[in-house]
Structure 1
Amino acid sequence: MNVEKLFSTIDTHVAGEPFRIIINSPMSLDANIMDLNQELIEQRFNRTKKLLLNEPRGYQGMNGCIVLPSKTADYACLFINHDNDPSFTYSGLVATVTALLETGNLAKKESNHYEVETIYGVYSIHAAYEQQEVAVTRFESNTCRVIETNETYKNVQIDNARNYLVYSLPKSIPRIAMENLSAISKWGRQTVLEMENTLEFDGLIITEPVRLQSHMEVRSITFKKDGSILRSPGPDSTFAIFTSNLHEKCDITTLTNHSIFGSSLTASLITGADNRFSMETRGFVTGVHQFIYDQKDPLQDGFLLK
């Protein structure tokens, strides 16, 4: 075996959404890379992305985070995924700070407050590190707003940057449950195809109310731009659903969003803020791995099953 490259990673999940944190690799990485745009980053790390995210080493739902040194924050993080235009994700912040603290790759701060540099800006996250594990993380969104509403969906913008189309439960789907997964997947793929040439969006969300009170509960499913299902309720999705419901019911103070897989996330409205939310959740380290790039491997770039 002719080993050309060796990669060290930490696998985590946040409410069911998996992340592969790349902490060591033969790539030439430095803080100046954060000045590159997303297109150049994709070009530079395309082979790495395929090696670590595609099957047989990864799978369709795997997300990647490359950890880098930072000149302005505690560390920097580059998000990579199967899409050629990955966007910022709060779950990625939770995944990286958890993985780095619990494996000793990030020094604990007395304040429990950490700054993470991304190409989208510097984000803050609170991580309570106790007895060698991150017990809880907390972060806040920027402003969220409904930018369009019609009989079919609401177009909700998160952090003035990412757009989600929020739909009520379609009549073709009895309820959001595993036994209806085939109908749910079919609706998602068809709707993504119908909408992708109409407007720019980061995801489609279908929601089903569970409880309509000041503490609201919903079930939801989020479809990514490729039609695949997000394996988590999703912070962005939860903020989008919260914003969508505040557009009609202004007395909601908290919202719990349940996924089809049994996980949930809860967001709270920040008092005195204009459609800004806070969220507490945690990540879980599931493995520490080393991956080898062998130039003789016929599946060195992997493959995807859809």
Structure 2
Amino acid sequence: MSWTLSQSFLSNSSPVIKTIEMHTGGEPLRVIISGYPKIHGDTILQKRRYAKNNLDHLRKMLMFEPRGHNDMYGAALVDTDLPEADIAVLFMHNGGYSTMCGHAIIALGRLVVDKKYVTATEPETEVNIQCPCGLVKTLVEYKDGKSGYVRFHSVPAFLFASNVEIKVKGYGMMTVDISYGGAFYAFISADVLGLDVRESSTSDLKRAATAVSDAVKKQVKILHPEDDDLSFLYGTILTDGQDNWSADPTANVCVFADAQVDRSPTGSGVTARIALQHSKGFIQIGQKRIFESGVTKSLFSGTAIKQVKCGDFDAVVVEVSGQGHYTGEASFILEEGDIVGEGFLPN
């Protein structure tokens, strides 16, 4: 016996929202393909505000249980306002809408090529993706009709503040660096908090990183030089402290949004960490580093490829590479009267 969801079968239901399910390094990505209402706005940041103010019930329905979970991640394709962009995207998660997401860019690069939104060329196909933080050039490996690894070039990334002293509840005075890679992150070595990013439990890492994020949000004013919509701390990245260049992988764990734990090494986080390492003289232009997720042991690479400016900040463009994978397709509905089905997260 087989059947598919349809409006005739579900006569009193909401429209069917169809998605393609992917992951990059273990971090999920739910890509909305059809059934979503039009997201209005002349610019992508206006679209982001529109989604937040008018469509947040759908974010909760798709990201939260029973269809998702606390660590689900999503992407909605929207109309681009940049002539050079092939697609534009809004990112969503348990706390709202982010400005950049590298793991999503890596997965979307494959999807755009495989769905023939652009004409594929060998050995790489260029896909320009407009994100809320700006245009991201993406290069998708393509051979014998198959897509593979993806690398992207970041928006200008920079060290915002170095050796910032904060008082962290439960831990005392700490020193963090704050760096931007399409989103702002606080960076601190896990051993300062009595933890190990490769060995400590995810719950302990999440608790400590959340405490650091809470402290930074209360005690540090973050400003992006070009747009106030980008001026907020997205999360904290706990590292193994190995910032000097090495051929060996360096591990980190990113806790972002509402205490959401990234399973991947974090694409925008790798971007921000490369910017930090370059600014402090730990790595040079062209030196590739390998970054390991402390959760899944998956790997991204990151390389500062050129120096630029972002406002008054010395910045770099960072190339990040990794591979996304497909996990399935889904059709989601909300039946009339299903209050629980509107989305919930357990305490």
Alignment TM class, shorter chain as reference:
0.7 to 0.9
1:234 aligns with 2:242: no
Tell me if structure 1 keeps the 8 A contact 2:299–2:322: no
Cα separation, 2, equivalents of 1:35 and 1:217: 35
Aligned 8 A contact 2:154 2:319 in 1: yes
2:272 partner amino acid: A
User: What residue identity is the alignment partner of 1:27?
Assistant: P
Distance, in Å, in 2 between the alignment partners of 1:33 and 1:44 is 16
| 2:58 equivalent among 27, 48, 57 | 48
Instruction: Give 1:127's match in structure 2, choosing from 118, 135, 140.
Output: 140
Looking at structure 2, the residues matched to 132 and 47 of structure 1 have their Cα atoms a distance apart, in angstroms, of 39
Q: Is the 8 A contact 2:94 2:260 kept in 1?
A: no
User: Do the aligned residues in 2 keep the contact of 1:189 with 1:228 (CA within 8 Å)?
Assistant: no
CA offsets per residue over residues 238-266 of structure 1, 9 Å max, x none?
A: 12222333344444512111111211111
Q: Which residue does 1:197 correspond to in 2?
A: 218
- Alpha-carbon distance in 2 for matches of 1:35, 1:205: 25
The alignment partner of 2:262 has SS state of coil
CA root-mean-square deviation: 2.7
Q: Unpaired runs of 5+ in structure 2?
A: 1-9, 166-174, 221-231, 309-314
1:81 to 79, 93, 101: 93
Q: CA deviation at 1:31?
A: 8.6
The residue number in structure 2 matching 1:158 is 181
Gap change, CA 1:156 and 1:179, over 3 Å in 2: closer
Cα contact 2:100–2:268 (8 A) shared by 1: no
CA contact (8 A) 1:69 1:75 kept: yes
Task: Tell me if the contact between 1:51 and 1:57 (Cα under 8 Å) persists in the aligned partners.
Answer: yes
Question: What displacement does 1:85 show?
Answer: 4.2
Q: Answer yes or no: is 1:283 the counterpart of 2:324.
A: yes
Residue 102 of structure 2 is aligned to residue 68 of structure 1? no
Once the two structures are TM-superposed, the CA of residue 14 in structure 1 deviates from its matched residue by: 1.2
* Distance in structure 1 (CA, Å) of the matches to 2:242 and 2:283: 17
- In the alignment, residue 139 of structure 1 is paired with which amino acid? F
- CA change 1:175–1:271 in 2 (3 A) is same
Deviation of the 1:212 alpha carbon = 4.8
Tell me if the contact between 1:173 and 1:183 (Cα under 8 Å) persists in the aligned partners: no
1:68 CA displacement: 3.2
Q: Residue 5 of structure 1 aligns with which residue?
A: 15
Structure with higher RCO (Cα < 8 A, 6+ apart): 1
The alignment covers a number of residue pairs equal to 303
**Conservation of the 8 A alpha-carbon contact between 2:77 and 2:89:** yes
In structure 1, the partner of 2:301 is 266
The one-letter amino acid paired with 2:98 is: P
Report the CA distance shift for 1:172/1:157 in structure 2 as closer, same or farther (over 3 A).
Answer: closer
Q: Which whole-Å CA distance do the structure 2 matches of 1:35 and 1:171 have between them?
A: 37
Structure 1 residue runs without a partner (length 5+): none
Paired residues for 1:74-223 under 5 Å: 74-102=86-114, 104=115, 106-110=117-121, 112-150=125-163, 152-159=175-182, 162-199=183-220, 200-209=232-241, 212-215=244-247, 217-223=249-255
Alpha carbons 2:48, 2:97 under 8 Å: kept: yes
CA contact (8 A) 2:160 2:178 kept: yes
1:234, CA displacement in angstroms? 0.6
Q: Secondary structure at the match of 2:61?
A: helix
1:57 Cα deviation from its structure 2 partner: 0.4
- 2: CA distance, partners of 1:272 / 1:39: 31
| Alpha-carbon distance, 1:37 to partner | 4.3
> For 1:3, what is the secondary structure of its paired residue?
coil
Alpha-carbon separation, structure 2, partners of 1:43 and 1:272:
37
Match of 1:14 among 24, 28, 40: 24
Does the 8 Å contact 1:155/1:164 carry over to 2?
yes
Q: Give secondary structure in 2 for the equivalent of 1:109.
A: coil
Tell me the CA shift for residue 209 of structure 1: 4.3
- Pairwise CA distance, 1:210: 5.7
Percent of residue pairs identical: 18
The TM-score with structure 1 as length reference comes to: 0.87
Deviation for aligned residue 1:205: 1.3
Please say which of residues 34-43 and 219-228 is displaced more in the overlay: 34-43
In 1, Cα distance between the equivalents of 2:59 and 2:24?
20
Secondary structure of the residue aligned to 1:8 is strand
**2:268 is aligned with 1:245:** no
TM-score (norm 2): 0.77
8 Å CA contact 2:39–2:47 kept in 1: the answer is no
Give 1:188 deviation, angstroms: 1.8
* Distance 1:216-1:268 versus aligned 2 partners, 3 A rule: farther
Q: CA deviation at 1:175?
A: 2.0
**Which one-letter code corresponds to 1:254 in the other structure?**
K
